[in-house]
Chains A and B, each alone.
Chain A
Amino acid sequence: MRIDNIINNFIIRRIFSSIFVLFGLSILIFVLARLLPGDPARLALGPRAPEEVVEQYRKMLHLDQPIYIQYVYWLYDVFHLSLGQSLVTFRDVLVDIEDFLPASMELVLFSAMILVIGALSLGVLSGKRPGSIADNLMRIFSYIGISIPAFVWAIILQLIFSYWLGIFPAIGRISDNITPPPKVTGFIMIDSLISGNIYAFIDAVEHLVLPALALAIGPIAQEARILRANLVETIGKDYILNLRSHGIPDNTIYFKYALKPSMIPVVTIMGLDIASLIANAFLVELIFNWPGLSRYGINAMLRKDLNAIVGVTLVVGLIFIIANLIVDMIIYKIDPRVRNIKSE
């Protein structure tokens, strides 16, 4: 199985370089967080705590040691599945993150779904007949979509669809009058299906629509445009003319032969955008009062909670790296050119 070997090698190489990047990232973030002016132990315990207690707390956090020793301690903790104590909640940061991450992931995955469906259908719609009304509308939409940042979309959508029209709820994950399903995965949509609570499911989806849409509009506009440009270019190639001359129906040519090569650059950018959703969610979650990782992270940043800042940034970095790894594998699967280069 020669080909399997090559795939394994390629993936293993990518994983190794990812681990290296993650290490570098942890050092970068760790050093940055320690540059923080002021005494974190004093900040955590408040101005009225006696000096001995603060001193003790400082010792407990190893803040009295040089920074490289602190890093070694921190790394030791990471390998024992602990990201250190939060200076605000006084719980382990990892426990906090476990609480908040599912809400963010649910939002991001739902948004990614909208993104993929929206970008592909709009791109195909406008690429199929360049110059048509649909195509021109698409062009206007794509310029508007790219120019409005996600958090402004969030405000616009909230204003129109929840305050003025009242179709979707404005804030939160689930309405107050509905009992949330028992926590299994932390994804309310899935948990409510497991417990068979269809009302909670519908309510959760209604809460998801606006924030997910706000996150997805920008990337949809960008990718639909790229897909359109690629499709138009592919359709003009000689092999398409050859297929036409053989009398193959237009739709077959279009969906079977033209779409796949046009998709490759789009998939790369789509993967990057989906990975970035977790970052853009930082602001959208604030606006929709979404109890996710980003809200936890922003609070940590505003209150200068050392370990929580490091923890959240690293977890986001980890998700980003894994997402990029998955994109690379998908590209590897669908693009024969990449495979050939790698096997040389």
Chain B
Amino acid sequence: MKYQEVSYEQISRKQKELIRESLKRWWFRYSKSKLSILGLGIFLVIAVLALFADYVTPYPSNAGLYINFKQSYLPPSTEHLLGTDMYGRDVFTRTIFGFRYALMMVGVVLGLVVPPGVVLGLIAGYYRGTWIDTIITRVSEVFIALPPLVLALSIASVLEPNIFNAMMAISLMWWPWYVRLVYSMTSSLRNEQYVYAAKAIGMPTYKILFKELLPNMLGPILTKVTLDAGWIIIIGAAISFVGLGAQPPTPDLGTMVSEYSRYLPDYWWMTFGPAIGITLLILSFNLIGDGIRDAFAGE
């Protein structure tokens, strides 16, 4: 066979084609399950509503500080889909604005937690058995030794109670879980032939970690990210519920549940709105997470 010269562009074009092809296959496997599609649908609807909350909600001024006692304690009706609260604010409007804070919390926490967790896990797993591994795994073990909620609460209690510090508190205790996940995967993958090959041709360590090892772990990491999103919402709501997170009149879902649950059982619809909101959001993340896991498992 004749030797054929291949240009760099040809290789990269081929590579892009392959990536597009595998993404298509992945989407085919994901979309096979109706539940995963349902989860994605719920999430997209919530995200769009939250993004355009100022335009889609009937009473955008009711989100924060607003008082209209004439309208207070109204049960659900066509005018107020989920009723009104003790200050006459529309619960539906406030719940939609609550999604905004919940999604922001998920985004910020995951953005702060996943990169350092993954990098530390890669390093500790690659240098398994050395002092680097010992330090990283021992320190993360200390953080994992407590249930997440308790550690987040005690960190939040030290800081000023507001939504930003609640995010910091959750981030501070969440990264070790990613270290643990990536660590266990790295320490088994690092003995694969392709890693030895990369080492043999003199590839620098950081390239081995990020170009050779990391792409093989995307499935479990992505699955954990989506399932964790649900947990972050639960813990964020819990911190707010106790009074260590967002303060009223911020329309945070957890704060709303805690504020409104004082008016049970007579004005049950006030608690119902934000509670349903939290549930729908967590449900969508769980469905998406299951879908992603199954799609990667079918590879």
Could you show 29 A-B contacts with beta carbons less than 8 Å apart? A24-B142, A25-B142, A25-B146, A28-B142, A33-B158, A143-B287, A144-B283, A149-B238, A149-B282, A151-B237, A152-B278, A159-B264, A163-B265, A276-B149, A278-B150, A279-B146, A282-B150, A283-B238, A286-B242, A301-B153, A301-B156, A301-B157, A304-B157, A309-B154, A313-B150, A317-B150, A320-B146, A320-B147, A321-B145
Interface centre among B155, B158, B234, B268 (most CB of A within 10 A): B158
Q: How far is the CB of A284 from chain B (nearest CB, A)?
A: 10
Residue in chain B with minimal CB distance to A305: B157
Name the B residues within 8 Å of A149 (CB-CB): 234, 237-238, 278, 282
Which B residues touch A298, using CB under 8 A?
Answer: 153, 242
Additional A-B contacts beyond A33-B154, A301-B154, A309-B158 (15; CB < 8 A)? A37-B160, A146-B282, A147-B282, A147-B283, A148-B279, A151-B237, A155-B261, A158-B264, A278-B147, A279-B147, A280-B147, A297-B153, A312-B154, A320-B145, A320-B146
Tell me which residues across on chain B come within 8 A of A275, comparing CB atoms: 147
Check A159/B242 contact, CB under 8 A, given A147-B279, A282-B153, A304-B157: no
Tell me whether A269 is interfacial, beta carbon within 8 Å. Answer: no
- Specify the chain A residue showing the minimal Cβ separation from B144: A21
Chain A's closest residue to B161 (CB) is A302
User: Across the two chains, which residue of chain B brings its CB closest to A313?
Assistant: B154
Do A159 and B265 form a contact, CB below 8 Å, given A147-B279, A147-B286, A152-B257?
yes
Report which A residues bind B (CB closer than 8 A): 17, 20-22, 24-25, 28-29, 32-33, 35-37, 143-144, 146-149, 151-152, 155-156, 158-159, 163-164, 275-276, 278-280, 282-283, 286-287, 297-298, 300-302, 304, 309, 312-313, 316-317, 320-321
B interface residues (Cβ-Cβ under 8 A, vs A): 138-139, 141-143, 145-151, 153-158, 160, 230, 234, 237-238, 241-244, 257, 261, 264-265, 268, 271, 275, 278-280, 282-283, 286-287
Task: Give the docked Cα–Cα distance between A313 and B153 (Å).
Answer: 9
Rounded to whole angstroms, the CA-CA distance of A284 and B138 in the bound complex is: 32
**CB–CB B149/A280 < 8 A:** yes
B155 contacts across to A, CB distance below 8 A: 32
A-B contact count (CB 8 A): 127
In the assembled complex, the Cα of A98 lies from the Cα of B28 at a distance in Å of: 57
Chain A residues in 8 Å Cβ range of B275: 148, 152, 155-156
B48 to chain A, nearest CB (A): 20
The CA of A156 and the CA of B275, in the complex, are separated in Å by 9
Min distance, Cβ B141 to any Cβ of chain A, angstroms: 5
User: Do A164 and B265 touch (CB < 8 A)?
Assistant: yes
10 closest A-B pairs by beta carbon, nearest first, are A279-B147, A301-B157, A163-B265, A24-B142, A147-B283, A279-B149, A147-B282, A149-B234, A21-B145, A279-B150
Report chain B residues within 8 Å CB of A21: 141-142, 145
CA distance A275 to B142 in the complex (A): 16
Q: In the complex the two chains form, what is the Cα distance from A321 to B141 in whole Å?
A: 11
A302 and B142 contact, CB distance less than 8 A: no
CB closest residue in chain A, given B261: A155
Interface SS of chain A: helix
Which residue in chain A gives the minimum CB-CB distance to B234? A149
CA distance A16 to B145 in the complex (A): 14
A286 to chain B, nearest CB (A): 7
Distance between Cα atoms of A17 and B139 in the complex (Å): 12
Smallest Cβ-Cβ distance to B266: which chain A residue: A163
Q: Which residues of B contact A152 (CB under 8 A)?
A: 257, 275, 278-279
Please pick, from A144, A163, A164, A316, the residue contacting B146 in the complex, using a CB distance under 8 A. Answer: A316
Q: Are A32 and B150 in touch, CB under 8 angstroms?
A: no
Distance A149 CA – B154 CA, assembled complex (angstroms): 20
Cα A287 to Cα B241 with chains together (Å): 10
User: From residue B233, how far is it (CB to closest CB) to chain A in Å?
Assistant: 8
A321 contacts across to B, CB distance below 8 A: 145
Question: With contacts A163-B265, A320-B146 known, is A155 near B241, CB below 8 A?
Answer: no
Return chain A residues, CB-CB under 8 Å to B148. Answer: 279
Q: How far is the CA of A147 from the CA of B38 in the complex (A)?
A: 14
Q: Nearest CB to that of A28 among chain B residues?
A: B142
Chain B residue with the shortest CB-CB distance to A146: B286
**B145 & A317 in contact (Cβ 8 Å cutoff):** yes
CB–CB B145/A25 < 8 A: yes
Q: Which residues of B contact A146 (CB under 8 A)?
A: 230, 282-283, 286
Nearest residue in B to A147 (C-beta to C-beta)?
B283
Q: Do the beta carbons of B286 and A143 come within 8 Å of each other?
A: yes
B264 x A163 contact (CB < 8 A)? yes
**Distance in Å from the Cβ of B100 to the closest Cβ of chain A?**
19
A118 to B139, CA, bound (A): 36
Please, which residues of chain A bring their CB within 8 A of the CB of B141?
Answer: 17, 21, 24
